[in-house]
Structure 1
Amino acid sequence: MNQPTAYPAGPNHLFHYTSDFISFGSILGMLRRQAVPLLVAGGLGLFAGIVYLQTTPPTYVSLARVLIDDGIAKSVDEVSPLAATLQTDATIMSQTEILRSERLARAVVIKEKLDEDPDFTNPPASLLAKTIGAVRGVVRGVLSVFSFGGGAQIRTDTAAMHEARINLASNILQANVIVERSGRSNVIVVGYSSYDPALAQRITQAYADAFLADQLEANFDATERATVWLQERLATLRKDSQEAALAAEDYRAKQGLSVARGELMSEQRLSDLNAQLIVAQSEAAGALARAEQLRKIVEMGPDRAAENLAMSSAPDQGPALTEMRTKYLNLSRREREATELYGAQNTQAVAMRAELSELAKSIFDEAKQLAQASQNEYEVKHASEQKLRSSVESASGQNTDAQRSQVQLRELQQRSEALTNLYQTFLARYEQITQQQSFPIAKARIISEAMLPLRPSSPRTMVVLLATLMLGLMVGGAIAALNEFNERFFRTAADVRSAIGAKFLGYLPSISVEPSKSRRKGLRDLWKEWFAKAQEWKTIAIERVKIRLGLQAVTDAPSGRAPMRRPLFNEPISQRELMSIAIDHPYSIYAETLRSVRLASDVLLQETPCRVIGVVSALPGEGKSTVSSNLAAMLANSGLKTLLIDADLRNRKLTRMRRRSKGVGLVEAVIKGMSWREVANLDKRARVVFVPTLLNRRMPHTGELLASVGMRRFLDSAKDTFDYIIVDLPPLGPVIDAKAFAPFADAFLLVVEWGSTPRELVRSILESEPAISSKMLGVVLNKAEIKSLPKFGTTGSGEQFFERYAEYYVKSPENV
């Protein structure tokens, strides 16, 4: 049991426990709590798996392996520009689709006559398949009933029926055939699943053979189609090539594009004219240079002209001028020498200068004639140049037209050459295909023949059992998770502390009460009695097994502890006994929890001489009246003067259970100012003074009565006599009576029904009633299933060790 400790009164000590951490212990607790749905769902799953194994006939699978060969004929593929190698994934996938195709399945059906084989068309079905088929039949029947219109006419002729059987067999074959690629290789695994191993082998081998035959037929057909196409194409190419060659020659003749020495005639003429023009331009330029030079010399005058001509090295001056220039240079040299030797006035020097003057005039005259001749020569050369230039321009125009025609001619020649080359290529390919047509090569080969299966491939016992078990556990887990999600009630002390942060004072066990004589036992009562007896039988059986196995002595338990005694009152008790359990069974867990309540009040209210404790609950029916009566009886039997007041003016359950009164009660005392002695009754057995509530009709303002001055006077008069005043108040949820009484109470004891009262409801009520929550003495969980507490407690919590506490909780001293 939790030992009560002092804590400050006030609202601040509530609502501060929060923990969302999911520990391993909480998971184990959840598994213990939800063991029943988990085990039931797992058992149902195993049962379903066993039923499936027993009702499902075994199936056998025969496998063959086909290699898509790399060394296939490529004659047809090379013709197509969209060819792809067989090693690509797309090609392998295409081959697998061919194996799954309806055409191949139809070929196998016809070859093996599977449409006439009853073992193939009507195989044994499992119970699941029969059930699904029956459901489908019912749905189709219902839909046919509600369908309107005549529908399509059914053909009944022999050909149609035969076609329908073949289609049915093809569908069955496609549904059970196995086609898959072996890893990343070029090997395709082909198989068939059947209830007959021999039939599975026969169909698998037939499928592989049909695939090879289809490949050969496909290659042969493709080669034949390619040969026909190539013949037509060769005729077309031959005709187009000849027409292109003739068109090129006709165009050459029309445009006069004659060729000599590898060039056109127009190109050769233009080349010659360009060479002549270059020579003429050179000669005209030389003539113009000589004429300009001589003209400039003549413009300088006789003296300067003779001197310049004498000093000039210009060619083509003529023999006369050359002779005079030489004579002028020699005479001029001699004149300079004579002048230097004999002076300028020397007769010989003067004569030489006169001779030089005459010679200069002669040179000047000759220079003028030479200049005129050079000018005439230049004009002739220039005229010849202009004429050649005109010829070149004319020839250039003619050559441009020829070049344009040459471009068109080249296009015609290129087309003719391309058609000729294509014709030669197709002709060579046609010859190759013609030679290869007689031996078509298959693109695949069988590398593993179909074998007779010796063991069934399905259903696999362990796989089915594990799968159904896991499925059942998953369903059970979903149910368990839903149950845990819906778990919003108080189960343990940790729930009390985490939800409302209040002091937890203990558990009050669930007690079976005998039904009244006026009421027959219902199914719920019978179920509770049966469950209680089953729990008792279970405990006795476990103890007997432990004794037989030597795990427990007959008289002593392990570790020297006494044998485990029953902590619960399994047999039903009467309503009267229910009101005095604490004094009838002082060693029980019920009495121990009430002693914890007293200890908490002694610690919290130790300075208060007379303690007024209000007993409240959140909802009706949580057992607060029973707790109030037993708490008062326990206090009274411990030597404390105790007054018990039934203040639940709307539901006087405490008064109805005790059935003793003086004809007046609490209402009369408060209204008329009577003392407690005038309305109280003494329970001699419980030693409790009880004030009932007697009403002939319902009162609309009960809260005002409990908060009145008369109520205060009544309590003040009782405080002088009693140590404890236990007040049974109405529930907090539906009415405000407890809130109205709060100023008169020293503390409140909150009674919460175990596994029934929502946590959020209690939290919201206490948060909205600070006058009550600030005086909260603690919380007791009533009607607790003690045997189930370990399922809800976390690892290491007190709920996990209730079996070890059992020797302290017994019904009576005689059992010790």
Structure 2
Amino acid sequence: MHHSNTPLDTRRLTRPADSDQFIDLDRLLAMTRRRLSLVALCAVLGLVLGGVFLLVTPPTFTAATRILLDENLTKFTEEREARPAPSQADSMVASEVEILKSARLARVVVETLDLHDNPAFLDPPQSPQGWLRSQLRSLARLLSGSASAGEPTEEARIGRASAILQQNLVAERVGRSFVIDVKYSAKDREIAGSVARAYAEQYLSDQLDANFDATQLAVTWLQGRLDQLRSDWLSASMAAERFRAENGLTAARGELVSEQQLSDLNNQLVLAQAETANARARYDQYKAIIDSGEESAVDNAIIPTDLAQGSALTDLKTRYLSITERAQEIEARFGEDHPQAAALRNQGRELRRQIFKELRQVTESYRTEYEVARTREASLRENVGTMSGESSATGQSMVKLRELEQQSSALGKLYETFLARYEEASQQQSFPIAEARVISQANNPVSPSSPSKTLALGLFVTLGLMAGAGIGGLLEFRERFLRTGDDVRDGLGFDFLGYLPLLGSTRSTRTQASTPTGEPSALDHTGSSLLRVAVFSPASLFADTLRSAKLASDVLLPNKPSKVIGFVSVLPREGKTTAAANFAGLLAANGARTVLIDGDLRNPGLSRRLGSQPKAGLVEALVGRVAWQNALLADQKTGLSILPAVVRGRLSHTSELLSGQAMGTMLEEMRSHFDYIVIDLPPLGPVIDARAFAPLADGFLFVAEWGATPRALVRRTLQGEPLIAARTMGVILNKTDMKRLPKYGSAGGAERYFHRYAAYYGEQSG
């Protein structure tokens, strides 16, 4: 420690890099202990708020029903393909979920249950937050001028009720199954149960209506198509019969061999012509179909059964018709933009291309067959012409007749096919079976689903704990005050001399005796008891800390037979005067010749606590009005001499008085009469009196209020006062709350073990 007028070693005032930045587990535990009461208070407050929330929040009841999408219900009424792929199944279930959530179905439920005329449904009890939201919406509508006057119309009430239904309804798929879970929440348990049941019923009814409408459309279309096909078939049959009658194409039998041969040739020719006509008809028919384009060819083609491709075409055509029918059903139910309808149309187009390709091959085979039949017919015709010279008119007539007959036969088969499909659709229309069923019926809920008492109370308690921890953490991380000796040593770089307990907080610091009676003393005054704590309680921690300060002054000032020690602080009312008076009183009580000077000429707190009002003091001694020896007051109990400060009015040159030649001369004279000269100086900072007195002092004892003096303020103040910093012998933390001090001690710090030394300070050990 340097005691000469040397610059401050700024390294002593530098905060170690790790001391305030690194937070270890011990520090976190210490913070928790310090703020445990705050966290507990916030948790209790959260519990109270949770109870209030449960009291003011109306309960909500939830009813649930489960619907299974089961295609097996219609397996006896219509042919179905294999179960759809997983992606298609997902789309199907998602589509049904959206149907349940739709506004149309909500409107049907509202009208079924008359919810738009139910006040309990439209205006249920509201929670505080719900009431606040409704008031804000009403205020917004009022400010915007959109508030409508008069009673709302029925359509408006239905729309509002539908919106409430959609808002409180939850429909979701259960896992990867075909089960849809439908839940509805309401403030009334009966409304919740009735709405959930009505949703299931109306959904099944909607499915039946959709199936019936789709089948009705198909039956209507097939009916019109059947009428047209029947008319065409009858016309073709009548044309064939008229042609036969007009041309006399009847079979005649002769008895001559030549006639029989001719008849046989004619028969063979007729058969050949028939085959040619049949082949040509089929070829022309399929060629016309191919020439009409892919879509028309696939729709109008007749599947042949006499070729190898017939079975393949039949399968393709069957698949194509089934997919087309399914696509039409889905489009009728969900619209043309539905993803499954689009997928089915794509599959139909692919099948149509395959069918058209097969039709081309069939047409080519029929062309070859026709060419063969025509060649055979020409050969027979030549033979018949050779034998009988019969003209080709009859043969042509027969060909024409066969052609007419084939056309009539084709139309008849087509008519039969459509008639069978019409009958099938008519039968399906008569089966009222939906592809879904309810597997879990909704009942009126017994207990509310929300708010959960346990969850709500737990949540509020958790929020309270979090708030308490947050506030406590904020307070801790904003903690910038001097609390422990480590704060002094690490944060300021000065020696720590000890704690002065908050007077009156513990038995060790409580004044045990009153001022003795007898001869008047300088400290015989009701306000002077705090100035003699160390004298009345010599075995207390308070007195022990002052002894530590005396030891520091003796060690650091070994060559000073008479020591001038100044007591300073940064802020007013930190207890500097009390510490100085008790320090001087303890020195005097131990036999040292000690004088206590009240150097705070602007606010002489020490002098105001004296038992009598002195007529002269430090100012009068410095200006030469009285000798300083005549201005001294004596404490008869301790032998302490006191030089008060008698201030009459505001002094503007106090710093010149404290640093002037007169002050230096007086101190030199006092050194020959006293071992210790203790001076109570004004606080540092804006007041420059202590700075002015610094060259005359041998050392300073710095007093800081525990938990109230910021470290940064002390550091910056001493950095601006290098001479005082260089002569500071140590720091004393005053007004220490000894009950709270252990909470701020670090792991292994002495602060956590002060209670074990209670017996040494005249107290019972804990």
Alignment TM class, shorter chain as reference? 0.5 to 0.7
* RMSD (Å) for aligned C-alpha atoms: 3.9
**1:489 matched to which residue of 2?**
481
The alpha carbon displacement at 1:91 in A equals 4.5
**2:12 matched to which residue of 1?**
13
- Residue pair 2:116, 2:157 contacting (<8 A) in 1 also: yes
Change over 3 Å in CA distance of 1:191–1:144 after alignment to 2: closer
Structure 2 residue aligned with 1:569, among 498, 510, 517? 510
Structure 2 CA distance for aligned equivalents of residues 699 and 235 of structure 1? 127
**1:767 matched to which residue of 2?**
719
Change over 3 Å in CA distance of 1:444–1:723 after alignment to 2: same
Cα shift readout 1:438-484 (whole Å, capped 9, x = no counterpart)? 25874533333334545443333322221111112122222222322
Structure 2 residue aligned with 1:611, among 563, 567, 571? 563
Letter of the 2:50 partner, please give it.
G
Letter of the 1:34 partner, please give it.
R
**2:280 matched to which residue of 1?**
none
Correspondences of 1:580-659 after superposition (within 5 Å): 580-658=532-610
Letter of the 1:780 partner, please give it.
I
Structure 1 CA distance for aligned equivalents of residues 289 and 442 of structure 2? 63
Higher mean C-alpha displacement, 440-449 vs 490-499: 440-449
Cα shift readout 1:546-605 (whole Å, capped 9, x = no counterpart)? xxxxxxxxxxxxxxxxxxx83453999941111111101112221111111111212222
Letter of the 2:185 partner, please give it.
S
Change over 3 Å in CA distance of 1:85–1:589 after alignment to 2: closer
Cα shift readout 1:76-99 (whole Å, capped 9, x = no counterpart)? xxxxxxx99764555444432322
The alpha carbon displacement at 1:42 in A equals 0.9
**2:33 matched to which residue of 1?**
32
1:798 aligns with 2:675: no
1:201 aligns with 2:197: no
The alpha carbon displacement at 1:636 in A equals 0.7
- In the alignment, structure 1 segments of 5+ residues that lack a partner are 1-7, 75-82, 237-409, 513-531, 533-564
Correspondences of 1:26-425 after superposition (within 5 Å): 26-56=27-57, 58-69=59-70, 87=88, 89-116=90-117, 120-121=121-122, 123=124, 125=125, 129-132=126-129, 135=132, 152-155=148-151, 160=153, 162-194=154-186, 197=189, 199-222=191-214, 224=216, 414=291, 416=293, 418-424=295-301
**2:439 matched to which residue of 1?**
447
Structure 1 CA distance for aligned equivalents of residues 566 and 664 of structure 2? 14
Structure 2 CA distance for aligned equivalents of residues 483 and 136 of structure 1? 35
Structure 1 CA distance for aligned equivalents of residues 665 and 486 of structure 2? 40
**1:727 matched to which residue of 2?**
679
Structure 2 CA distance for aligned equivalents of residues 229 and 611 of structure 1? 123
Structure 1 CA distance for aligned equivalents of residues 148 and 225 of structure 2? 49
Letter of the 1:39 partner, please give it.
A
Structure 2 CA distance for aligned equivalents of residues 480 and 706 of structure 1? 46
Higher mean C-alpha displacement, 111-120 vs 615-624: 111-120
The alpha carbon displacement at 1:140 in A equals 6.7
The alpha carbon displacement at 1:137 in A equals 6.6
Aligned residue pairs, count: 566
Higher mean C-alpha displacement, 423-432 vs 684-693: 423-432
Letter of the 1:477 partner, please give it.
A
Structure 2 CA distance for aligned equivalents of residues 617 and 481 of structure 1? 29
Q: SS at 1:600's partner residue?
A: helix
- Residue pair 2:601, 2:645 contacting (<8 A) in 1 also: yes
Letter of the 1:447 partner, please give it.
I
Letter of the 1:742 partner, please give it.
A
Provide the TM-score with structure 2 as the length reference. 0.66
Structure 2 CA distance for aligned equivalents of residues 117 and 144 of structure 1? 24
Structure 2 residue aligned with 1:466, among 442, 451, 458? 458
- Residue pair 2:634, 2:642 contacting (<8 A) in 1 also: yes
The alpha carbon displacement at 1:233 in A equals 12
The alpha carbon displacement at 1:16 in A equals 4.4
Q: SS at 2:67's partner residue?
A: strand
The alpha carbon displacement at 1:191 in A equals 1.8
Structure 2 CA distance for aligned equivalents of residues 618 and 235 of structure 1? 113
- Residue pair 2:745, 2:751 contacting (<8 A) in 1 also: yes
- Residue pair 1:70, 1:87 contacting (<8 A) in 2 also: no
Structure 2 CA distance for aligned equivalents of residues 790 and 232 of structure 1? 100
Letter of the 2:469 partner, please give it.
G
The alpha carbon displacement at 1:199 in A equals 4.5
Letter of the 1:175 partner, please give it.
Q
Change over 3 Å in CA distance of 1:61–1:700 after alignment to 2: same
Structure 2 CA distance for aligned equivalents of residues 164 and 62 of structure 1? 26
- Residue pair 2:480, 2:710 contacting (<8 A) in 1 also: yes
**1:398 matched to which residue of 2?**
none
- Residue pair 1:50, 1:465 contacting (<8 A) in 2 also: yes
Q: SS at 1:620's partner residue?
A: coil
Letter of the 2:729 partner, please give it.
L
Structure 1 CA distance for aligned equivalents of residues 614 and 449 of structure 2? 88
Change over 3 Å in CA distance of 1:115–1:96 after alignment to 2: same
**1:579 matched to which residue of 2?**
531
Letter of the 1:61 partner, please give it.
T
**1:362 matched to which residue of 2?**
none
Change over 3 Å in CA distance of 1:219–1:777 after alignment to 2: farther
Structure number with larger C-alpha Rg: 1
Q: SS at 1:474's partner residue?
A: helix
Q: SS at 1:803's partner residue?
A: helix
Structure 2 CA distance for aligned equivalents of residues 734 and 463 of structure 1? 57
- Residue pair 1:11, 1:773 contacting (<8 A) in 2 also: no
Structure 2 CA distance for aligned equivalents of residues 155 and 195 of structure 1? 24
- Residue pair 1:29, 1:792 contacting (<8 A) in 2 also: yes
- In the alignment, structure 2 segments of 5+ residues that lack a partner are 1-6, 76-83, 229-286, 302-316, 326-417, 515-525
- Residue pair 1:17, 1:497 contacting (<8 A) in 2 also: no
**2:366 matched to which residue of 1?**
none
Correspondences of 1:775-794 after superposition (within 5 Å): 775-794=727-746
**1:695 matched to which residue of 2?**
647
Cα shift readout 1:354-390 (whole Å, capped 9, x = no counterpart)? xxxxxxxxxxxxxxxxxxxxxxxxxxxxxxxxxxxxx
Structure 1 CA distance for aligned equivalents of residues 513 and 193 of structure 2? 72
Cα shift readout 1:524-557 (whole Å, capped 9, x = no counterpart)? xxxxxxxx7xxxxxxxxxxxxxxxxxxxxxxxxx
Change over 3 Å in CA distance of 1:415–1:603 after alignment to 2: farther
Structure 1 CA distance for aligned equivalents of residues 483 and 421 of structure 2? 89
Higher mean C-alpha displacement, 802-811 vs 730-739: 802-811
Structure 1 CA distance for aligned equivalents of residues 107 and 448 of structure 2? 27
- Residue pair 2:11, 2:493 contacting (<8 A) in 1 also: no
1:682 aligns with 2:665: no
- Residue pair 2:488, 2:731 contacting (<8 A) in 1 also: yes
Change over 3 Å in CA distance of 1:630–1:232 after alignment to 2: farther
Structure 2 CA distance for aligned equivalents of residues 685 and 198 of structure 1? 90
- Residue pair 1:17, 1:500 contacting (<8 A) in 2 also: no
Higher mean C-alpha displacement, 643-652 vs 664-673: 664-673
